[in-house]
Structure formats: C-alpha cells, structure tokens
C-alpha cells in the first residue's frame, strides 16, 4: 500500500501523542501451553490448560504464554497483569462455538481483561472466533428462551478489555467474531499495531472499537469488517490523544467512524495515511449525537475508492443531550464515489445492508441542529468524483424549492443516507458556522442536475479555490439563509447556468 509522506511538524499541537509503539513485556519467563496439557488439536477443550499457563505466568511476576503451532479450542480466558500471549505462526486460538462456554457479564468475550496493567497479545498466529457457529448457537438458545435475545451484545466478542493500562496488540490476525471483534473501554496507553481483521460473516462485526481510551496508537492495521471498520466511541470518558495511521480499511458499513456513542466526546485525535475502499456507507463519519464534545480532530491523507459516501459530519440529539462539534480539519483527501455495485457485494448474506445497492448516490454533508451549529470545520485539498444521478430529476428528487422540506431527524441514528436524496450533489451544509472549503475540487463522472454545494442556515462560509468541473441545470452554489460568505479564486465551469444563487435572508456575500 502506497501511503502519503509524513511530516511530523504539522501535528505538534497534540501535547502527549505517542509516536512509538509501547514495547511488549520484555522480561519474565516463557510458559508453553503444551507443558500445561493443551492438546492443540482443535477438538479437545484446552481452556483449563491455557488458563493455567496464564496464571502461572502471573504468579511468577509476569511472562510470555507461548502458543506453538496447533489449534487450541477454548472458552473464555482471563488475562493477568504483566502477561503477554504470543501465538506463533501456525498457531490458532479457536473460540468455542457454544455460547454457554463464555462467562456472562460486561466482558462477554473469548479474551477478557479488567483493571490490568502491562498486558499484550502478539505473534503471527490467528485468533478465530468461529462467529457463524457461535452466533447460530446464540440464536438457538434465544429461541429456546435460555437467553433474552441473540442481538450483538448477547454474542461474545473476541477481545474485551476494560480499565487497563499499557496494552499492546501486535501482528496478530483476528477472524470471524460473533459480535464486535475487539472492544477497548477506558484503557490508557493502548497500542494496536500491524494486526489484521477478517470478520465479515455476521452482522455487527465492528473491526475495532476504541471507547473512552486515552493515549492510543493504532498503526499499520488492515481491517475488513462487516460493520464499522475503525470506530471511536465514548460511553463514559472522552477518547483523548489518539493517533490512527497507515491503515487499510474495508467496511460493509462505515470505514472511519467517531460515534455513535459520544457521551464523553473526542478530542486531540489524528487520523492520517488511510486507504479506505469498498465501503457501503460513509468513508469518514464524525458524529456527536449523545451529548459530548468533539474538538481538535485532524484527518489527513486519505484515499477513498468505491465508497457510498465520502464525508458525513453530524451533530444530533438522540437522547435529549446536544453536544458540540467544532475544530475539525479534513485535508488531502481523494475520493471516488461512483454509482456501481460494490466490489464485495457477494461476500455476505447475513446483513441486509450487504445485499442491496442504493441506486442514488449519497451527498457529503455537514449537518447540525437549529440553534446548535457544527462549527469551525476546514476541508482542504480535497478531490471528490461522483457518479451523478442524471441531468433530469425524478419526481422524488429534490429541487431548490425543497430546501425547507429536508427533514431534521434529530433523534435518528446517524448515517449519511439518513436525509434521503439531498438538493446538492457535492456537499450539503445546514446549521453550520465557520465552514471553510480550501482548494476543494468536485466532479461528476456523468451528469447531475443539482447544485454542487448547498449551504442552508449557515454563517461565515469561506470558499477559496472551490473548483467544480461539471455543472447541471441548477446553479453551481446555492446559499440559503447564509449570514456572511466569502468566495475567492473560484469560478463556474463553462457549462453552468449560473455560479452563485442567493436565497432567503442571505446577506454579506463577498465575491466571487
């Protein structure tokens, strides 16, 4: 994967950003699981032997629990402080396909850790959650009334760590979870490096969930997930001081997502050098919908190919709490949002979103709420190519007289398609303030009758080098109820009917 060059000086504002991965536990003896009776044949349950090896390492003051080549079938395992699990190449840790083999509670998973220090998982081996079999068994138990339901939180994850410090996950491959693949909640000094995730068999397979964690480095990872690929959440405390870099993501939902859980918010986050491809929902999705604050977020050097939507930024109100979303910069992005079936459309049968293709393309959007705008968002050095819906609107497609009819949907689960067909093909901004478009190029591959940009109920909009390389029958830019706009170094394409149209109470427009 060819990635953009890195210049560290740009990101010096993050006070405590980790620039090197924390080392795995270096001291301590090695505890070979075979010496504790593990059969490694994939048939016998090795849970007791594996847990004994982990306990022995912990009792010795720390060490490495070694999995030599083999297939180790296990139920839930409890990690211990100062213990690293090392799966050698050819070693597979198999999660039990039987739901009742997993300990219930907040850590419903194969590998569990709570309030531990200095723990790790490493090696060239594989952890296979056997998600299809495990989900089917969960469904069976639900039908037999032995479980309340078979939804995602009734199905075990592969990894669930909470309240842990100095956590390193490196080089391992994680496959086919029955729910989220890995969930790190309220952890500090978390490093996830050079791992692979291959989990597309069951619905709700988030590739990685980083929830309320502080001082995080995620780099060099390759994610292929049924649900959100890289997902930051904040059910309690904020996600703070997070670096995500040099990763490759394919998702049957959203590739890079902040939220939907946003109680604590997100601050001081850098995401850079990402390749996002074959994504069925939003490539970049930034949400504050449960209260909380998003601030100081920098996303840069992103290559997006074959996605349903490029960028979706949303301030909502799902639960009666309206947070704030400000101080976001997205730069150096190329995106192809073309109207064709996704390359992986035949991979999955389990989730409805996998099996249908929306014929109408989704517009990138920045949307707040009345009286609660999204603030201070900069889009810089961005090129997006769209497929286009045609130069003749369908009866269900919006025209400019539709602006006041675009629904608010304040309490609805956020996704880029939530408003239906929008009255712009490039960007739609509503309830927004201080939005800057700097050297942004938009192009449709075929035709699209709509404006490239619509700003509705907005303040202080800046367009500098706003390049639209194709135009339909409507004006290129529409400003409705906009208080203050500056347009510089921008011009309409030759085919445009007009460049800027002002509507409603729009005033103080300077340029082009």
By the 8 A CB rule, do 358 and 310 touch?
no
pLDDT tens sequence across 66-122: 999 999 999 999 999 999 999 999 999 999 999 999 998 889 999 999 999 999 999
Q: Is the pLDDT of residue 363 over 90?
A: yes
Within 8 A by CB and 6+ apart from 105, the residues are none
Is 60 exceeded by the pLDDT of residue 511? yes
Task: Annotate 469-490 with b (16+ C-beta within 10 A) or e (fewer).
Answer: ebbbbbbbbbbbbbbbbebeeb
When comparing pLDDT for 473 and 332, which is higher?
A: 332
pLDDT of residue 389: 82
Look at residue 405 in the predicted model and tell me its pLDDT.
86
Task: Indicate whether 399 pLDDT > 90.
Answer: no
Q: What pLDDT score was predicted for residue 446?
A: 84
Mean of all residue pLDDT scores within the chain = 90
Give the model confidence (pLDDT) of 267-289 as tens digits.
999 999 999 999 999 999 999 99
What's residue 192's pLDDT? 98
Please report the pLDDT score of residue 4 as a whole number.
Answer: 42
Asked if residue 393 has pLDDT above 70, the reply is yes
pLDDT for position 24: 58
The predicted pLDDT at position 174 comes to 98
The pTM (predicted TM-score) of the whole model is: 0.92
What does the pLDDT read at residue 426? 95
| Two tokens, residue 18 | 């980790």
Enumerate domains of the chain plus CATH numbers.
1-255 (2.160.20.10)
Q: How far apart are CA 163 and CA 144, in angstroms?
A: 35
Q: Is residue 166 within 8 Å of 130, Cβ to Cβ?
A: no
Q: What are the tens digits of pLDDT across the range 132-152?
A: 999 999 999 999 999 999 888
Report the half-sphere exposure of 304 (CA within 13 A, side-chain side).
33
Return d(Cα 406, Cα 450) in angstroms, integer. Answer: 15
Least confident window among 6-20, 239-253, 433-447: 6-20
Long-range contacts of 496-500 (CB under 8 A, 24+ apart): 496/468, 496/471, 497/471, 497/473, 499/475, 500/475, 500/476
Per-residue pLDDT at 339: 66
Question: Percent of the chain beyond pLDDT 90?
Answer: 77
pLDDT digits (tens, 9 = 90+) for 57-70: 999 999 999 999 99
**pLDDT > 80? residue 443:** yes
């Amino acid at each position: 994967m060819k990635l953009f060059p890195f210049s560290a000086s740009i990101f010096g504002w993050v006070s405590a950003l980790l620039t090197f991965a924390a080392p795995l536990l270096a001291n301590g003896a090695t505890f070979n699981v075979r010496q504790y009776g593990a059969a490694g044949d994939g048939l016998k349950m090795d849970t007791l032997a594996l847990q004994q090896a982990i306990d022995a390492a912990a009792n010795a003051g720390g060490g490495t629990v070694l999995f030599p080549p083999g297939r180790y079938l296990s139920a839930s395992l409890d990690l211990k402080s100062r213990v690293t699990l090392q799966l050698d190449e050819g070693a597979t840790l198999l999660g039990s396909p039987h739901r009742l083999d997993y300990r219930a509670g907040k850590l419903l998973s194969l590998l569990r850790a709570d309030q531990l220090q200095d723990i790790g998982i490493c090696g060239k081996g594989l952890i296979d959650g056997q998600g299809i079999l495990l989900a089917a068994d969960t469904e069976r138990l639900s039908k037999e009334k032995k479980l309340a339901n078979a939804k995602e939180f009734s199905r075990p994850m592969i990894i669930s760590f909470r309240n842990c410090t100095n956590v390193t996950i490196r080089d391992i491959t994680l496959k086919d979870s029955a729910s989220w693949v890995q969930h790190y909640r309220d952890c500090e000094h978390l490093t996830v490096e050079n791992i692979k995730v291959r989990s597309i068999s069951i619905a709700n397979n988030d590739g990685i969930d980083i929830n309320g964690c502080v001082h995080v480095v995620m780099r060099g990872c390759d994610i292929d997930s049924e649900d959100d690929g890289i997902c930051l959440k904040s059910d309690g405390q904020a996600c703070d001081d997070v670096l995500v870099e040099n990763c490759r993501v394919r998702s049957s939902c959203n590739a890079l997502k902040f939220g939907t859980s946003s109680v604590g918010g997100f601050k001081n986050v850098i995401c850079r050098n990402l390749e996002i491809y074959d994504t069925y929902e939003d490539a970049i999705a930034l949400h504050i919908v449960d209260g909380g604050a998003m601030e100081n977020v920098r996303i840069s050097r992103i290559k997006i190919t074959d996605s349903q939507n490029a960028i979706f930024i949303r301030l909502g109100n799902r639960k009666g709490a309206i947070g704030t979303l400000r101080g976001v910069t997205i730069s150096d992005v190329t995106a192809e949002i073309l109207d064709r079936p996704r390359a992986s459309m035949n991979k999955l049968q389990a989730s409805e979103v996998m099996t249908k293709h929306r014929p109408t393309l989704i517009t990138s959007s920045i949307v707040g709420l009345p009286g609660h705008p999204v603030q201070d968002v900069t889009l810089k050095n961005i090129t997006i190519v769209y497929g286009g819906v045609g130069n003749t609107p369908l009866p269900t497609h919006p025209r400019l007289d539709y602006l006041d009819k675009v629904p608010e949907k304040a309490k609805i689960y956020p996704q880029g398609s939530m408003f239906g067909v929008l009255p712009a093909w490039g960007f739609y901004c509503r309830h927004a303030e201080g939005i800057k478009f700097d050297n942004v190029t938009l192009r449709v591959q075929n035709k699209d009758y709509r404006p490239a940009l619509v700003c509705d109920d907005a303040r202080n909009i800046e367009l500098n080098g706003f390049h639209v390389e194709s135009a339909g029958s409507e004006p290129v830019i529409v400003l409705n109820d906009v208080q203050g706009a500056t347009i510089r170094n921008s011009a309409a394409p030759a085919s445009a009917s007009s460049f800027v149209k002002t509507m409603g109470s729009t005033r103080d427009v300077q340029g082009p």
